[in-house]
Amino acid sequence: MTSYLPSLLVPDAALSVAGLTAYIQALLEQDNHLRQVWVTGEVSSANRYRSGLFFTLQDPDANASISCVVWNSQIDRLTVQPVSGEQLILLGRIHVHPQRGQYQLIIWQALPAGEGLRALRYRQLRNRLEAEGLFDSERKRPLPPHPKTVAVVTSPQAAAWGDIQRTLRRRYPGLHVVFSPALVQGDQAPTSIVHAIQRVERDARADVLIVSRGGGAIEDMACFNDERVVRAIAECSIPVIAGIGHQRDETLADLAADVCAHTPTAAAEQAVPLLADLYASHQELALMLRDAMHYRLEAAHDRLQRLRDRLQQLHLDRVLHQERQVLAWMRQRLIQSVTLQTQQATQYHQLLQQKLATLDPQAVLKRGYAVVRQDGAIVRSTDDLAPGQELQIQLGHGQLSVRVMELLPAQERSSQSD
């Protein structure tokens, strides 16, 4: 029995396994796109070894997978740790193992994908704005107790706008409402919300501002986690109430607002008081005021009665008689004191008169002395005189004028005087 072998053309030089693997390695590892590549997928079969973390990144929809490794020196630098079942975005490079004829992805960085990536971005933005102080309680402003105008920023097609209008009319009839429409979902929503807030500020009529939208998926709330919207709310000159989503939802806009009400209806309730409550409070205050006045009047009446009782217990005639005696005694003491002081003053006056009479120059003249003057000045020595000068002599009674005939020596004048 003969076998039939097909005729094959064998090349002169065939590649070895090592050569083929080296060629594939050069193609993959030298490719610029594969030396630093981002890959997304779901982690499975994650195992930690002494050299590093080995796992498989798979794409369930396409039924494809790739082996990955993070060396121990790089694990602590990852933003998130690869865990089985997590969706990740990985940064790495392609590496070929010649011994096994396989390639794998050497990982440098791992980021959350899908919901995880959104949560990471939310957390990073929240931490940064919180570090700036945009969420501090010291920045929160109190709401006006009785606003005259309330501004609302939301979509005109949203159910939240209708809920807010009904709540405001029910709680505070006659309130003036300013509506500033805005997109509250989609890529254009952040810019639209910022412009709507700025319109309210330029209008300058509103006492309080409600920024609101109804509930929805997490993706629908993304515009209220936008940094531009958060800053516009934090920097708004009007107190802001955030009524976004449902009770379980929390956005960065809620944290930046002065009051967070979580739902549109709750935001409207926070903005204005309930008129019935105001009326009840007024009635209660009126009752309290009436009771207080009644208490004060009763206290005053009791005090007046006590004074009347004390007045009746006092004998006025006796008191008046005692007061008259005291006044008479004080009058007698005053008269005695004045009389004594008058006598002392009279004696002192007489003493002064006697001293004054003793010192009176006119009295000296009356005793036989005379005062000689020359041109009004008193002459005290002959040294100042000369023969022929005219002098005036004042006597005890009258004056006379004389002329100096001769100046005697001092000794001779002394003997003549003797």
Run of H or E including 328:
helix 316-358
Residue 350 lies in a domain: no
Query: Contact at 8 Å (CB) between 54 and 68?
Result: yes
Residue 205 pLDDT: 94
* pLDDT per residue as tens, the chain (418 positions): 444 444 555 566 677 888 888 888 888 888 888 889 999 888 888 889 999 999 999 886 667 889 999 999 999 999 888 988 788 999 999 999 888 889 999 999 998 886 656 667 788 899 999 999 999 999 999 999 999 999 999 999 888 999 999 999 999 988 999 999 999 988 899 999 999 999 999 999 999 999 999 877 676 788 999 999 999 999 999 999 999 877 666 889 999 999 999 889 999 999 999 887 778 888 888 889 988 998 999 999 989 988 888 777 767 777 788 888 999 999 999 999 999 999 999 999 988 888 887 777 776 666 667 788 888 788 777 777 888 888 888 776 788 888 878 888 765 555 555 5
CA distances from 346 to 157, 351, 356 (A): 112, 9, 15
Query: Could you tell me if 129 and 64 lie in one domain?
Result: no
pTM: 0.50
Query: Contact at 8 Å (CB) between 393 and 402?
Result: yes
Q: Which residues constitute the domain of residue 214? A: 120-135+148-272
Residue 328 lies in a domain: no
Query: Could you tell me if 226 and 171 lie in one domain?
Result: yes
* SS3 state of residue 418: coil
Query: Could you tell me if 170 and 186 lie in one domain?
Result: yes
- Domain count across the chain: 4
Run of H or E including 87:
strand 87-97
Residue 12 pLDDT: 63
Query: Could you tell me if 267 and 303 lie in one domain?
Result: no
Instruction: Indicate the length of the chain as a whole number.
Output: 418
User: Which of 211, 246, 272 delimits the end of a domain?
Assistant: 272
Query: Contact at 8 Å (CB) between 205 and 175?
Result: no
CA distances from 368 to 250, 395, 397, 402 (A): 127, 8, 10, 18
User: Which of 272, 292, 313 delimits the end of a domain?
Assistant: 272
Query: Could you tell me if 233 and 97 lie in one domain?
Result: no
Query: Could you tell me if 154 and 245 lie in one domain?
Result: yes
Query: Could you tell me if 89 and 225 lie in one domain?
Result: no
Query: Could you tell me if 169 and 247 lie in one domain?
Result: yes
Cβ density class 123-133: b for 16+ within 10 Å, e for less? eeebeebeeee
Give strand pairing partners of 84: none
CA distances from 19 to 216, 332, 413 (A): 59, 146, 169
Query: Could you tell me if 158 and 209 lie in one domain?
Result: yes
Only one residue has tokens 């000159």, namely 237
Side-by-side strand order, sheet with 240-244: 176-181, 149-154, 208-213, 240-244, 259-260
Residue 232 pLDDT: 95
Query: Could you tell me if 52 and 128 lie in one domain?
Result: no
Token pair in block for residue 49: 């070894």
Here the CATH number for the domain that contains residue 48 is 2.40.50.140
Query: Could you tell me if 177 and 227 lie in one domain?
Result: yes
Here the CATH number for the domain that contains residue 254 is 3.40.50.261
